[in-house]
Amino acid sequence: MWLSFFTPDLFASAIRMATPLALAAIGGTICERSGVVNIALEGMMLVGAFFGVVVTLATNNVLLGVGAAIVAGVLLSAIHAFASVTLRMDQVVSGTALNILALGLTGFLMEVIYGHPGATNGIQHIIGPVFNFPTGGTGVLATIWTWIDQIVFSYTPIVYLAIIIAIVAQWAMFHTRWGLRLRALGEHPRAADTVGIRVQAGRYSAVLISGALAGLAGANLTLEQVGVYSDNMTSGRGFIALAANIFGRWTPAGSYLASLLFGFAEALEIRMQSFQSVIHVPVQFFLALPYVLVVIVLAGFMGRAVGPAAVGKPYEKE
């Protein structure tokens, strides 16, 4: 039984599930490093997921769909940037408003465009895996190859893209001038301002990047995973991503690894559901598993996590 439980697909599924979390979490990391809290990641993922489907259905071009998802995320994040940087609004309040706006707007437009609530129409073809190597056969070598193929070569483009983004962002954040400036914005904006870094412009760009990444995360959900947008389908992933960012200690690579943990919990949840006849535990307990894990991680592993010093505080030029 355990052999059929821990299949290579379980681990591949973990990496697939981790992808939207990781993209949003890296967005959250960049945003918070600049000193802006972004609890609207959830809403940005939602509009990304929704407009990805809408544009794909309208143009029959899934690439345009991915582009639309990113643009939608960026547009929503632009409102957040304007509110929290220019208006110096409470960033949590702005984020909450945008989450509700995203839920309302997607639900509203869904009915206007498709004439029914609950879900959009489905797209014809979801984005397939990048590689398609032959598998099968018997023997040890064939089994090893199946594992390698499943865990390394079975993914859709955005899954690989997320790994590349994590590596590039990690490098950029700690080894480039951009990264140094970004971190200065979140730690000591006054000092950054004094040495001539443009605080507001820097924060704007960080918030917009987080919107683009969250939008891309939404595209991964609908255009690569399920092929249809259903109401509130992110189900708290934006908040799990924020937890992953904290668990990853405000680093892109850490965010990715923490997302892997939560992604594994999701994969486990799905796998356990198919073993329900053997395990005899109600399905709701599996569904709650990822959320429980987040709480345990925040409670135990964390110790006292210290974020950027100036996060959440609007900067006022003297």
Partner 1 sequence: MSETHEASVVRENLWMKALRTAGVPLLSVVLAMIIGSIIIKASGMDPLLAWGALLKGAFGSPDKWAAGNFREFGDTIGRATPLAFAGLALAFGFRANLFNIGANGQLLLGSITAAWLGLVLAGLPGVLSIPMILIGSALAGAAWAFIPAILKAKVGAHEVITTMMFSWIGLYLTSWIIAAPLKDAAGNSQTPMLAQSVWLPTFDKILPGLFRTPVNAHLGFVIAVVLAVVVWWVLKRTTLGYGVRAVGFNQWAAQNGGISIAKTTVYALCISGALAGLAGASEVLGTNHRMFDEVSAGSGFGFTGIAVALLAKSHPVAVVFSALLFGALSAGAGMMQLTANVSDRIIMIVQALIIFFVGAETVITWFIKRRQKRALEEKGATDVA
Which residues partner with 119 through β-bridges? Answer: 230
Q: Which residue number, 143 or 232, has a Cβ lying nearer to partner 1? A: 232
Is 312 in contact with 35 (CB distance < 8 Å)? yes
Given 243, 258, 267, 310, the residue binding partner 1 (CB under 8 A) = 243
DSSP secondary structure string for all residues of 187-242: H-HHHHHHTT--HHHHHHHHHHHHHHHHHHHHHIIIIIIISS-BTTTTTTHHHHHH
Q: Which residue number, 125 or 190, has a Cβ lying nearer to partner 1? A: 190
Q: Tell me the window of 54-62, 121-129, 191-199, 230-238 that interacts with partner 1 (CB under 8 A).
A: 230-238
Closest CA to 69 of 214, 238, 229: 214
| Minimum distance from residue 299 beta carbon to partner 1 (Å) | 5
Q: Which residue number, 1 or 299, has a Cβ lying nearer to partner 1? A: 299
Tell me: does residue 276 bind partner 1 (CB under 8 A): no
Closest CA to 204 of 85, 60, 35: 85
Closest CA to 312 of 95, 99, 98: 95
How far are the Cα atoms of 75, 89, 102, 140, 171 from residue 39, in angstroms, in the given order? 15, 14, 12, 48, 25
Q: Which residue number, 174 or 285, has a Cβ lying nearer to partner 1? A: 285
The DSSP output letter for 82 is I
Given 130, 142, 152, 292, the residue binding partner 1 (CB under 8 A) = 292
* Number of residues forming the site for partner 1 (CB under 8 A): 48
Question: Binding string to partner 1 for residues 23 to 62, with x set by CB under 8 A, is what?
Answer: ----------------x-----------------------
| Minimum distance from residue 96 beta carbon to partner 1 (Å) | 6
Rounded to an integer, what distance in angstroms lies between the CA atom of residue 221 and that of residue 216?
9
Question: Binding string to partner 1 for residues 86 to 125, with x set by CB under 8 A, is what?
Answer: -xxxx-xxx-xxxxxx-xxx-xxx-xx----x--------
Question: Which backbone phi and psi does 21 adopt, to 5 degrees?
Answer: -60, -45
Rounded to an integer, what distance in angstroms lies between the CA atom of residue 78 and that of residue 70?
12
The residues that touch partner 1, with contacts defined as CB under 8 A, are: 39, 83, 87-90, 92-94, 96-101, 103-105, 107-109, 111-112, 117, 231-232, 235-236, 239-240, 242-243, 246, 282, 284-285, 287-288, 291-292, 294-295, 298-299, 302-305
